[in-house]
Amino acid sequence: MTTFRHFYVKSHAKTSPDINLKDLPGSSGRLDVVARCINASFWLSHDIRRDVVFHTIFHGEPSPPVYIRMEGDRLRKVSPDERNIAIFIKKALERMGEEEIESTPGIFVSRKSFEELLRENRDKTLYLMDEEGEDIENVKITGEPFFFLGDHIDLEEEEKEMLYRHGAKAISIGEKSYLSSHCIAIINWWLDRKGVG
Ligand X SMILES: C[S@@+](CC[C@H](N)C(=O)[O-])C[C@H]1O[C@@H](n2cnc3c(N)ncnc32)[C@H](O)[C@@H]1O
Q: Residue 32 or 90: which CB sits closer to ligand X?
A: 32
Q: Residue 100 or 154: which CB sits closer to ligand X?
A: 154
From candidates 51, 100, 131, 144, binder to ligand X by CB under 6 A: 131
C-alpha–C-alpha distance, residues 8 and 55, integer Å: 5
C-alpha–C-alpha distance, residues 121 and 4, integer Å: 12
Site membership for ligand X, residue 150 (CB under 6 A) = yes
Site membership for ligand X, residue 65 (CB under 6 A) = no
Q: What mask, x for binding ligand X by CB under 6 A, covers residues 165 to 194? A: -------xxx-xxxxx--x-----------
Contact 101, 108 (CB under 8 A): yes
How far out from the chain centre does Cα 63 lie?
19
Beta-carbon count within 10 A of 11 CB: 28
CA nearest to 112, candidates 40, 5, 8? 8
From candidates 89, 149, 163, 168, binder to ligand X by CB under 6 A: 149
Residues contributing to the site for ligand X (CB under 6 A): 129-131, 149-150, 152-155, 172-174, 176-180, 183
